[in-house]
Amino acid sequence: MTVHGENFVARLLHGLPTETYSWFAHPPLLNCTTSFGTPHFVILSPMFGALVLELRTWSTITKVTTNSVQVQHPDGSFSTEVYPLNLAREYARCLSERAKERYLAMYSNHKRADMRFPCSYAAALPNLDRGDIEKWQSVGLWEHERILTRQELNPVRFERLVRNMAAAGDVSAVLDEDIIHVMRGVLDPTLIVRDAAGMDVGTLTNEQAKLMRESSIRIKPDELKDVLENLPAEAVEAADNYNVRLVRGVAGSGKSLVLARRAQHLAETYPDQRLLVLAYNRDLVEDLQRRIPNAPQLEIFAFDDLCAHILGDRWCPPIDPQVWLEQNPNTARLMQQNGFTADFAAEEIAWRKEMNIYNGEKYMIVDREGRVRSLSKGKRSIINVLFDQYVEACRRGDWVDQSDLVSMSIDALSHTHALYRAYDNVLIDEAQDFAPSWITLVKRLIKPGGNLFLCDDPTQSLFRAFSWRRRGVDVVGHARTLRVPFRNTRQIAQAAFSLVYADETLARSNDIPKPDMESYPLRSNDKPLLANCQDPVREARLVEQYVRQFISSGIPADSIAVLCHRPWIVRRWSYLRKEGVYVKSFNEMKGLEFTVVIIPQLQSLFEQDSSLTDISFVSEMRRRVFTAMTRAREILIMTYVDTLPGELNPILPYVRQELTRVERRRA
């Protein structure tokens, strides 16, 4: 009885244990081409390396030589075919050579150059019996134990035979994960991760690859349309008529990479669908634009720019509440008298507007989500005064801030707006920073039955503390978690996550994903440097010295970042931007990565009136430092003047400490 060749063998491969085996159908093989195309299947396992499996659906063989096979077809015709084991052997040789080349290029600094890449080979002939092959083996024309016939190709025997054939290769030990990932990239070049210069720097994990290639599922749009047309407008807005996928991951786990690759995959696979990619800040948008090739149906926006696009002529530049609070003499004096920082007061104003709490009495009693300890009534009464003065100033000056523009954009997205229900797929990076009103706006952009793809990491939530329930998105059962922080070296990851482990609020949260530093071969380098400077002048000199040293060593200036937690610190080192160095605040670094990161002025990180220094404030500042630390791929330098805040002591076992000896500049 004749069986269907490829589907038959593919079903057997699907039956192999996924924790031990992975397999590839028609893998393109990086930089390895032959006149015969690609191999039918390659099976990969840490137990034996790779096994190339060539498939032939022949039913009658009339002649065999060392290089060819004469086959009779069902219609009576004959043809001469290439001997499948020769071809499988050639594929195996090519795979081994390409794997070694890639391995040496990626790990030449700290891996063995003589590492072997075992690749074996075999042929599957599902329409032939064992007896049809043995008569040729008896005269030495078929390699023994490298042919799988009808008798061997069954679920009971298949795995054992695959393992035995692979064992004939050169295997001395179980392969480590870095070799497996190298081979996966050779087998499927679309899994290769490249840096901004196009250099091969790694391979997507299995989990990342699955998320990248998930189908664009639709909720029967025609049926859904009929239902929605019979509902009132407010019911349509409230209906969850879209598909959700939440990708939650630790810092450096490749969430942005997955999102970019998924957007590219959707653009290529569904050219008739309209796609929208959103991010919090413009720097991240620019990074995503570099990662995602242009596609006519794909748009990439920072959220603020999306609002401007929606509002058109109605848009106007927003004011910054923090700047207004600092520059207004009355509010600046009131904040100083009560130990408020402008960013703290601005955060409370934004939260109140997001929650639509304009009534002062209501604010005095409402549960302030996102804070472990509630503000005292006295502190809330001061916030009421600041809030009222700010709102009145905006009314008199006819000003709007970001919160107002979001509300205006939601109102503008009526049924007649060109962007209402315009997108089949909306993908959001750093979604933990999208407030409920932002998500309300996003929902109005998605077509009925469309898809919402979210990437978040609650550990890095610098701006918001809203649950997905509060945002109106049901993610239960729709979330996947990436736990490997492979962006960073192991030493940087250990130092950064020590702050999370030591923080009472972060450590006990069920939403905070726990990192996995064991299942993937993280790169290794020196421990991060923690420099104690005698005074601010020597600290400034030290930072400048390191920047120039790195540039001289060949590191591009735009791969070096000085990340600062206060605007005045940004201004101190802003002159380095002339050389191309990234110098910005913590608020603008989300989703980005750099070869070198320098974080200065740690001693001022927790400076605030003691009455406001509660658990939530400490947790927030640790979270910001953690996010800044995890922007570094290879080198992390942190500096402080005089005394390191006790809240950062958890990092001490994971850093190199140094007392700077940089000389002060002479006048």
Each residue of 33-80: pLDDT tens digit? Answer: 666 678 899 999 888 888 999 999 988 888 888 788 899 888 889 999
Q: What is the pLDDT of residue 414?
A: 87
How confident is the model over 525-545, as a mean pLDDT? 94
75-120 pLDDT per residue, tens: 889 999 888 888 898 899 888 888 888 888 877 555 555 567 788 8
- The whole-angstrom separation of Cα 355 and Cα 375 is 17
* Rounded to 5°, angle at Cα 595 from 591 and 596: 100
Q: What is the pLDDT of residue 519?
A: 75
Residue 610's pLDDT band, with cuts at 50, 70 and 90, is very low
Length of the chain: 667
Residue 1's pLDDT band, with cuts at 50, 70 and 90, is very low
The answer regarding whether domain 207-315+405-482 maps to CATH 3.40.50.300 reads: yes
Q: Provide, rounded to the nearest whole percent, the portion of the chain with pLDDT above 90.
A: 43
Q: What is the pLDDT of residue 393?
A: 96
Residue pair 425/451 in contact by the 8 Å Cβ criterion: yes
- The whole-angstrom separation of Cα 17 and Cα 25 is 17
- pLDDT over 70 (residue 159): yes
Residue 454: beta bridge partners? 246, 428
More confident residue, 169 or 95: 95
426-464 pLDDT per residue, tens: 999 999 889 999 999 999 999 988 999 999 988 877 555
3-state SS class at 641: strand
More confident residue, 152 or 217: 152
How confident is the model over 238-258, as a mean pLDDT? 82
Lowest-confidence region among 96-105, 161-170, 579-588, 610-619: 610-619
- The whole-angstrom separation of Cα 429 and Cα 247 is 10
- The whole-angstrom separation of Cα 464 and Cα 617 is 13
Mean per-residue pLDDT over the chain, rounded: 85
616-644 pLDDT per residue, tens: 778 888 989 999 999 999 999 999 999 99
Question: 426 burial class (0-12, 13-18, 19+ CB within 10 angstroms)?
Answer: buried
Q: What is the pLDDT of residue 140?
A: 64
3-state SS class at 245: strand
174-221 pLDDT per residue, tens: 677 778 888 889 988 888 887 766 778 788 888 888 888 887 655 444
- pLDDT over 50 (residue 611): no
Q: What is the pLDDT of residue 532?
A: 95
Q: Do domains 207-315+405-482 and 490-659 have the same CATH topology?
A: yes
Identify the sign of the CA torsion 434, 437, 438, 442.
positive
Q: What is the pLDDT of residue 238?
A: 44
645-655 pLDDT per residue, tens: 999 999 999 99
- The whole-angstrom separation of Cα 496 and Cα 254 is 17
More confident residue, 224 or 43: 43
CATH superfamily ID and name for 490-659: P-loop containing nucleotide triphosphate hydrolases (3.40.50.300)
- pLDDT over 70 (residue 525): yes
HEC-encoded secondary structure of 601-619: CHHHCCCCCCCCCCHHHHH
Q: What is the pLDDT of residue 405?
A: 96
- pLDDT over 80 (residue 470): yes
* Rounded to 5°, angle at Cα 40 from 36 and 45: 130
Distances (CA, A) of 91 to 26, 86, 109, 169, 188: 11, 9, 29, 14, 14
- The whole-angstrom separation of Cα 89 and Cα 461 is 52
Task: Classify the phi-psi angles of 479: left when phi > 0, otherwise alpha if psi is within -120 to 50, otherwise beta.
Answer: beta
More confident residue, 131 or 361: 361
Q: Where are the domains of the chain?
A: 5-203, 207-315+405-482, 321-399, 490-659
- pLDDT over 50 (residue 231): no
Half-sphere exposure of 166 (CA within 13 A, CB side): 26
How confident is the model over 139-158, as a mean pLDDT? 81
Residue pair 280/364 in contact by the 8 Å Cβ criterion: no
Q: What is the pLDDT of residue 342?
A: 86
